[in-house]
């Protein structure tokens, strides 16, 4: 005998939790089943080492929808975010570096040390990137996303390479490369590959700090978002259960209800089931693909979702000492995203090398440290350095053996140590998420951080719809519009659809 709910959410990632909160506030009896003992999926914090709160996967925040913060009253449940300032720091091997933030005069001083003409070019780039981001933002929460609703000139730009977009504005190699990284995050494409301008636009689409495209940190680490949403969901009456892996979702008895079966033998039924799992897990593993249209199954199998990103989290005894800006006392550049991206060719080579050799020899790195602005995350005097690195494809020939994992960490640490030579000696502990670990620990098949590429062909109406071909099954994770990043929007869109259908059925 299986217990009955109005709605069951499979997966307690931040989107599943957002869906549950909206459903419960809409009056539904809701159960969330999360396979991991930790809630939040890729939006989680863990005590990786005693006394440290580590944002295991996602680290910085911009796209979390301010409408969701207001509607779910998340500030009352502990949500608080603050802007990252300065925004970026890119050291070079010759001892020069570029530090950019929100202060126009300081940006001008930094850029003119390389090329006076790029001061105006950078301002123009920022205006144009914000315009792209604002256009994406305007459609983030659309119930029926359609590229036809996007400004035609901007839609055309989505198809172009991020390098060609940036080269229209600035010429300084390190500035070009620093700006290009937003077009590459999570994506198995190089800066000269078409479509990467959309990835850049996506990373400028956030408005959590009121300013288009600004990024920042969540107080207490990224898991604090999921914690606040879970608290709001529970306060509205949702049951949220961790360590509850779902094995199958099926319509079994012609009752119009779906049955969800768990690894512990329990089973539950509901008129609506919302899957927070990625498309491949949802349709090929949890559902019986034979019960779905072959054309739909072919689309799922053809979905581009090979992860290429590695996250290395390090416990440090002191701050990295950059040759370009020496010192281990906290300085502005320690608060910024540290890019290892000297020029666009370096980034393209990192990509091309992975395609031909299975991994980047000299990877693109984005490094973050929240401890200089939130010391509560580590024991006194200690720091956490998160390194997000590409390209390390999921399907590498090594199948991510322990040796391959250690080799990748070595490559990443050695690459950063060329710019901050004290790095190897100050590492006190480490943890790594390869694409294979993202699959095993976070539960995303193929380890793609966005549940599938955010390139043209997989954006807007070309992501999976929230209403799936199996009646009563909705997709509420990043496989649906607007895709990956910590937005909460797939969860909100799916809950709205499920609530509308539940009401229509009464």
Residues that bind ligand FAD (CB under 6 A): 10-16, 33-36, 41-43, 57-60, 63, 245-246, 276-277, 281, 286, 309, 311, 388, 433, 438, 442-444, 449-451, 477-478, 484-486, 490
Query: Using alpha carbons only, what angle is made at residue 400 by residues 475 and 264, rounded to the nearest 5 degrees?
Result: 45
Minimum CB distance to ligand FAD, residue 123 (Å): 26
The 8-class DSSP code of residue 331 comes to -
Task: Tell me whether the omega of the peptide bond preceding residue 86 falls within 30 degrees of 0, making it cis.
Answer: yes
Per-residue CA distances from 192 to 148, 184, 324, 376 (Å): 25, 10, 28, 41
Minimum CB distance to ligand FAD, residue 42 (Å): 3
For ligand FAD, the closer of residues 282 and 411 by Cβ is 282
For ligand FAD, the closer of residues 118 and 431 by Cβ is 431
For ligand FAD, the closer of residues 150 and 218 by Cβ is 218
- Report the C-alpha dihedral over residues 320, 323, 327, 332, rounded to 10 degrees: -80
User: What's the CA gap between 106 and 503, in Å, rounded?
Assistant: 55
- Kindly give the interhelix angle for 196-203 and 117-139, rounded to the nearest 10 degrees: 80
Q: What's the chain's Rg over C-alpha atoms?
A: 22
Minimum CB distance to ligand FAD, residue 251 (Å): 18
User: What's the CA gap between 119 and 134, in Å, rounded?
Assistant: 23
Decide: 247 and 286 in contact? Cβ < 8 Å.
Answer: yes
Per-residue CA distances from 104 to 60, 107, 108, 124, 256 (Å): 23, 5, 6, 12, 59
Minimum CB distance to ligand FAD, residue 261 (Å): 10
Minimum CB distance to ligand FAD, residue 108 (Å): 28
In the chain, count H helices and then E strands.
17, 18
For ligand FAD, the closer of residues 175 and 286 by Cβ is 286
Decide: 69 and 147 in contact? Cβ < 8 Å.
Answer: no
For ligand FAD, the closer of residues 172 and 282 by Cβ is 282
Minimum CB distance to ligand FAD, residue 113 (Å): 29
Question: What is the sign of the dihedral through the CA atoms of 465, 469, 474 and 475?
Answer: negative
For ligand FAD, the closer of residues 224 and 324 by Cβ is 224
For ligand FAD, the closer of residues 23 and 119 by Cβ is 23
- List phi, psi (to 5°) of 312: -110, 120
User: What's the CA gap between 200 and 189, in Å, rounded?
Assistant: 12
For ligand FAD, the closer of residues 29 and 285 by Cβ is 285
Minimum CB distance to ligand FAD, residue 116 (Å): 34
Measured in Å, how far apart are the chain's first and last C-alpha atoms? 24
For ligand FAD, the closer of residues 86 and 121 by Cβ is 86
The DSSP result for 66-132, as a single string, is HHHHHHTTGGGGT--EEE-SS-EEEE-TTS-EEEE-S-HHHHHHHHHTT-THHHHHHHHHHHHHHHH
For ligand FAD, the closer of residues 45 and 172 by Cβ is 45
For ligand FAD, the closer of residues 19 and 100 by Cβ is 19
SS3 51: coil
- Kindly give the interhelix angle for 173-180 and 344-357, rounded to the nearest 10 degrees: 50
Minimum CB distance to ligand FAD, residue 438 (Å): 5
For ligand FAD, the closer of residues 86 and 490 by Cβ is 490
Residues 42-56: b if buried by 16+ CB within 10 A, e if exposed: bbbbbebbeebbbbb
Minimum CB distance to ligand FAD, residue 339 (Å): 14
For ligand FAD, the closer of residues 277 and 473 by Cβ is 277
Minimum CB distance to ligand FAD, residue 480 (Å): 9
Minimum CB distance to ligand FAD, residue 357 (Å): 22
Burial of 400 (0-12, 13-18, 19+ CB in 10 A): buried
Closest CA relative to residue 317, chosen from 49, 58, 35: 49
Minimum CB distance to ligand FAD, residue 244 (Å): 6
Minimum CB distance to ligand FAD, residue 109 (Å): 29
């Amino acid at each position: 005998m299986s217990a009955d709910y109005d709605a069951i959410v499979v997966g307690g990632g931040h989107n599943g939790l957002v869906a549950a909160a909206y459903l419960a506030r809409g009056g539904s009896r809701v159960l969330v089943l999360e396979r991991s003992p930790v809630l939040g999926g890729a939006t989680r914090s863990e005590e990786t080492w005693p006394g440290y709160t580590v944002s295991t996967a996602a680290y910085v925040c911009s796209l979390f929808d301010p409408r969701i913060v207001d509607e779910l009253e998340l500030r009352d449940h502990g949500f608080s975010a603050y802007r990252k300032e300065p925004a970026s720091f890119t050291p070079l091997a010759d001892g020069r570096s570029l530090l950019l933030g929100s202060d126009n005069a300081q940006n001008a001083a930094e850029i003119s040390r390389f090329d006076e003409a790029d001061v105006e070019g950078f301002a123009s780039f920022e205006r144009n990137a914000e315009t792209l981001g604002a256009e994406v933002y305007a459609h983030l929460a659309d119930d029926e996303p359609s590229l036809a609703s996007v400004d035609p000139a901007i839609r055309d730009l989505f198809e172009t390479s991020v390098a060609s977009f940036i080269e229209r504005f600035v010429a300084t190699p390190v500035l070009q490369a620093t700006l290009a990284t937003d077009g590459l995050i999570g994506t198995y494409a190089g800066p000269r590959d078409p479509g990467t301008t959309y990835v850049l636009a996506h990373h400028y689409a956030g408005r959590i700090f009121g300013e288009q495209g600004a990024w920042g940190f969540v107080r207490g680490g990224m898991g604090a978002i999921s914690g606040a949403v879970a608290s709001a969901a529970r306060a509205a009456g949702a049951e949220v259960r961790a360590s509850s892996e779902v094995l199958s979702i099926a319509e079994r008895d012609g009752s119009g209800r779906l049955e969800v079966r768990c690894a512990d033998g329990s089973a539950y039924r509901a008129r609506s089931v919302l899957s927070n799992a990625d498309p491949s897990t949802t349709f090929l593993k949890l559902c019986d693909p034979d019960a779905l249209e072959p054309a739909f199954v072919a689309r799922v199998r053809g979905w581009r979702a090979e992860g290429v990103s590695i996250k290395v989290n390090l416990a440090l005894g002191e701050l990295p000492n950059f040759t370009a800006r020496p010192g281990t006392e906290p300085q502005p550049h320690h608060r910024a995203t540290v890019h290892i991206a000297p020029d666009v060719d370096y980034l393209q080579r990192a990509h091309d090398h992975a395609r031909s050799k299975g991994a980047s020899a000299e990877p693109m790195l984005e490094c973050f440290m929240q401890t200089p602005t939130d010391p509560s995350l580590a024991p006194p005097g200690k720091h956490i350095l998160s390194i997000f690195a590409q390209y390390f494809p999921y399907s590498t020939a090594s199948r991510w053996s322990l040796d391959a994992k250690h080799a990748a960490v070595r490559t990443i640490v050695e690459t950063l140590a060329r710019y901050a030579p004290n790095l190897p000696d100050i590492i006190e502990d480490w943890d790594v998420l390869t694409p294979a670990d993202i699959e095993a620990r976070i539960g995303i098949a193929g380890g793609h951080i966005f549940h599938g590429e955010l390139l043209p062909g997989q954006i807007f109406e070309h992501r999976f719809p929230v209403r799936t071909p199996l009646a009563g099954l909705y997709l509420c994770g990043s496989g649906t519009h607007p895709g990956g990043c910590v937005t909460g929007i797939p969860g909100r869109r799916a809950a709205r659809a499920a609530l509308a259908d539940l009401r229509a059925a009464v």
